[in-house]
Amino acid sequence: MAQENLSVVLHAKGDLRLENRPVPEPGPNEVLLQMHSVGICGSDVHYWQHGRIGDFVLQKPMVLGHEAAGRVVKVGSAVTHLKPGDRVAIEPGVPREMDEFFKRGKYNLSPTIFFCATPPDDGNLCRYYTHNANFCYKLPDSVSFEEGALIEPLSVGIHACRRAGVSLGSTVLICGAGPIGLVSLLVAKAMGASKVIITDLFKERLEMAKELGADFQLTVKKDDGPQELAKKVEEILGAQPEITIECTGVESCIQTALYATRSGGVVVLVGLGAPMTTVPLVNAAVREVDIRGVFRYCNTWPMAIAMLSSGKVNVKPLVTHRFPLEQAVQAFETTRQGLGIKVMLKCDKNDQNP
């Protein structure tokens, strides 16, 4: 095995470097992976630009990347369900202890969880990476490495739609047609939503949403009022949506989401914005509109793999740009500029295929 482990390391705000690190050895319950495809997430770019997200502050150099798939090259002594050569998708959040959240199946809420590329935990944007084997999921032959890497954002959509209670016949409003809005759209349709309307500032993103199955697209302008937009949504749908999935984190969009949702409906907040946000809470309260939060995901990889392998969901169109690992800085710059939808880094020098 090559002893070169090229890694994308954030040293400080604005200081992104490519450097060689030692190839790690897997512990008893871990596997060593040769990384193949790693997507760049908005949070990776945010850490690069700002050095922090909320309370998570970069204190020491950190490897970025958490949307990933690779091939097993070595297994720890206690690992029995995986073997060298297996292709796997990586769930980046691994509970460190069996606390009450773990026992209740909500391990994503555990305060001590390990999470790739969240300070102080290293991510997997490198040639070789070790991960807990129980959070590596074998990919069927019909699912590519890139699709495996896209299970991470797809999982946000699955968790959001589950929290929202999307089911056969649901009418859904999605605010924001970035990667998370688009995967929420794919999942909502797969779960049986009859009508989905999606909003965004950019026509190109709405074009992609239309290709992926959105029934209606609404281009918004920055000076549109929330109540005015809510009215437009109702006019286009013919009724208020039962469910709204808010993927922007922008205050005015959260306001629109609450005004637009039918009485007795559900608003799920996926996008993260300012810590303090002014919203029409009384309007939502007197109409019994439930407001539900989303923090990452849990128990979603098996469902995502089933959705992809059955063909119920197609995430392939989301990948618009590909770069070899050596061009990571250029790839990050492409994402920062908002070009395309999903930028994918290819970590295996000998296999740059999807």
Residue span of the structural domain in which 197 resides: 157-293
Is the domain of 267 the same as that of 184?
Answer: yes
Assigned domain for 151 exists: no
CATH of the domain at 246: 3.40.50.720
Q: What is the pLDDT of residue 100?
A: 98
pLDDT digits (tens, 9 = 90+) for 317-347: 999 999 999 999 999 999 999 999 999 999 9
Is the domain of 197 the same as that of 96?
Answer: no
E-only strand ranges, 82-194: 87-90, 93-94, 114-115, 128-132, 136-138, 171-175
Residues 311-321 have a mean pLDDT of 97
- Give Cα separations from 332 to 96, 307, 329 (angstroms): 30, 29, 5
pLDDT digits (tens, 9 = 90+) for 160-216: 999 999 999 999 999 999 999 999 999 999 999 999 999 999 999 999 999 999 999
Q: What is the pLDDT of residue 183?
A: 98
Is the domain of 165 the same as that of 134?
Answer: no
Q: What is the DSSP letter of 332?
A: H
Q: Is the pLDDT at 253 greater than 60, yes or no?
A: yes
Is the domain of 61 the same as that of 161?
Answer: no
Assigned domain for 176 exists: yes
Q: Is the pLDDT at 3 greater than 80, yes or no?
A: no
Is the domain of 280 the same as that of 322?
Answer: no
Is the domain of 80 the same as that of 201?
Answer: no
H or E, element range at 338: none
Average pLDDT, the chain: 97
Assigned domain for 145 exists: no
- In the block, residue with structure tokens 């039918």: 262
Assigned domain for 28 exists: yes
How far apart CA 12 and CA 58 sit, in angstroms, is 7
Is the domain of 133 the same as that of 59?
Answer: yes
Burial 243-275 (b: 16+ CB within 10 A, else e): bbbbbbbbebbbbbbbbbbbeebbbbbbbbeee
Is the domain of 92 the same as that of 197?
Answer: no
Torsion of CA 268, 273, 279, 284, to 10 degrees: 0
Is the domain of 128 the same as that of 166?
Answer: no
Assigned domain for 147 exists: no
User: Cβ of 4: how many Cβ atoms within 10 Å?
Assistant: 12
Assigned domain for 149 exists: no
pLDDT digits (tens, 9 = 90+) for 124-142: 999 999 999 999 999 999 9
Task: Tally the domains of the chain.
Answer: 2
Q: What is the pLDDT of residue 140?
A: 98
Is the domain of 103 the same as that of 208?
Answer: no
Q: What is the pLDDT of residue 2?
A: 55
Is the domain of 263 the same as that of 333?
Answer: no
